[in-house]
A and B are shown apart, each in its own frame.
Chain A
């Protein structure tokens, strides 16, 4: 059973090694002549005005929170969908209630304007 996952572990190691190897190849084969102008952050030819780690729009944060909620919902839906023929009517009604509660939340977000970008 778990034997099936061994190739995946090996594949992960291979992929990481491939990634590292490619960076190393680039470093070995390519030139390495740093200077201050070349290594300054790109800002259309200007000197960088200020630190780039600035404040950003709170909506990105909101999207991340909504994502967690909905992704959890998907995580709950996955096993339910696979076992759909076994959970029967009770399982179906229970999941519809759960979805209904989440849809109420979704409508609330929508009406509150959490999904607006202009």
Chain B
């Protein structure tokens, strides 16, 4: 049986072998990401529920475990309404454009030392390029809907995403200066050897800027004026329903997890253990592994939800002021500090 299968496999042309092998790997990455998105929505409702002293969803399945599955099923059976004045093609294309980059970015994330779809040298540049694509989905959705709320919401979102992307980019430059590589696996490996090697320590201001920008970039509370329910209802996706809406939702949450995964890789050492090699030598089960990556990402995701439960929404002018007048100067100064420390002072080793 296995021999016939193996014979069949070897008889395939090599391009088909590559295609099939990659398809299998992609499914192995996409399925957990989609499941994580589904259960992040569940976790969000549960955690915010408990933070507000209520129970959260608890009807569908034991303790509400099946809630996200049923949400997906419900959305599948809803009508996709296309408003009369909308540009049909752009209206349907926008959610796909918002969803696809949020998925493709996972191609270069190193889950552990050996577990990644592809290990390209320009990994971080690729991620930056793909996350920039997200803003097109927002703008096109707002424009194509031909609705005032959607239009205003998309303008606000676009300006906000674009403003925070700059701060985010500058924060990444700081990481690059420390790591000397765009390859995400090498960035994580440069922080191996215990928590005191993690870049969060020398680059703490950049970590804060990166993470808060990530919250703003994904239009999450407290920076969610774009979908401020009380003023412009749901922002750019007000006209969307059914699976078209689900795509925006999936994209937004996949982007959230992506921000968390990137923060874990760039500032918290990715899959590397927080313990020093001496400790790991005596207790081998504390060594590197994908579980550390998952723990770090889960913690950062919890912070996202915690922010939402804790902070009141920012005003739009406050958001813009924070992005342009606080984050960009802070990151610029820190880049100069790293450079000066490396070239003009003996303390350059602190930033390695």
What residues make up the interface of A, taking CB atoms closer than 8 Å to B? 4-8, 10-12, 14-16, 18-20, 22-23, 25-27, 29-34, 36, 38-43, 48, 51-54, 56, 59-60, 63-64, 66-67, 70-71, 74, 77-78, 81-85, 89, 92, 95-96, 99, 103, 106, 110, 115-118
Contact = CB atoms under 8 A, between A and B. Distances in A.
A116 B121 CA distance: 39
B84 A40 contact: yes
A27 B90 CA distance: 16
A22 to B, nearest CB: 5
Contacts of B106: 11
Contacts of A11: 22, 26, 103-104, 106-107, 117
Contacts of B169: 70-71, 74, 77
A115 B321 contact: yes
Contacts of A38: 81
Interface residues of B, number: 84
A63 B162 contact: yes
A22 B96 CA distance: 9
A77 B176 CA distance: 9
A38 to B, nearest CB: 6
Contact of B117 (A7, A67, A83): A7
A71 B316 CA distance: 22
Given A41-B83, A117-B316, A19 B99 contact: yes
A117 B317 contact: yes
Interface of B: 18-19, 22-23, 25-26, 30, 75-85, 92, 95-96, 99-101, 103-104, 106-108, 117-121, 124-126, 143, 145-152, 155, 158-159, 162-163, 165-166, 169-170, 172-174, 176-177, 180-182, 233, 238-239, 242-244, 246-247, 316-317, 320-321, 324-325, 328, 332, 335-336, 339, 342-343
Contacts of A16: 96, 100
22 contacts: A7-B117, A8-B120, A11-B104, A15-B103, A18-B30, A22-B246, A26-B75, A26-B80, A31-B79, A33-B79, A41-B84, A48-B147, A53-B143, A63-B159, A67-B162, A67-B166, A70-B328, A77-B170, A81-B176, A84-B342, A99-B336, A115-B325
